[in-house]
Amino acid sequence: MSTKIFCDIADIKLIKKFNKKNIVKGFTTNPSLMRKAGAKDYKEYCKKILKICSKKPISFEVFADDYDNMLDQAYKLNSLGKNVFVKIPVCNSKGNFCGKIINKLNKEKIKLNITAVYNSKQTHNILKKVNKKTKLIISIFAGRAGDTGKDPIPEFEKKYKISKKI
């Protein structure tokens, strides 16, 4: 297990700037950030980012909330480039674990970024659904736990121990 720094941005000027920095190992974005950055066409904006960021990993997120549409979007995003990770939420807007789609895409060797992971139970559930030979990013949102007044360090320690066992 290793820690890498990824920029969570969609602004083209900032992507150009941080793409030149060695400490930045990749990028991640989401539909809200892209809209805020002025994107009118999601797919075309992804392509614009990929012209700048062709060597480092970049995560593009599905925005559908149901299995079939998430799957369709995941395939389309994956087809954009070899450095693309498809960003899948750990749970949909109804709070349902997205394990079925995580498992399916992982079996098809699609690189994934599982996002908005808050606790060790979610980490455990993700790791039970994946083959660790396929590239995978688990985006842990420790800051949001800290915002609630909860110390995120014990959760990090649990997640690390779980990742070593599975």
Catalytic residue numbers read 87
Place of tokens 């599975």: 166
Q: What is the CA radius of gyration of the chain?
A: 16
Q: 30: which 2 tokens?
A: 């989401």
Helix, strand, coil tally for the chain in percent (to 5): 45, 20, 35
Strand locations in the chain (E): 5-8, 24-28, 58-61, 84-89, 112-117, 136-140
Place of tokens 């970049």: 58
At position 97, the amino acid (one-letter code) is F
User: Up-side HSE of residue 48: CA atoms within 13 Å toward CB?
Assistant: 16
DSSP-assigned beta bridge partners for residue 137: 113
Rounded CA separation 78/55 (Å): 15
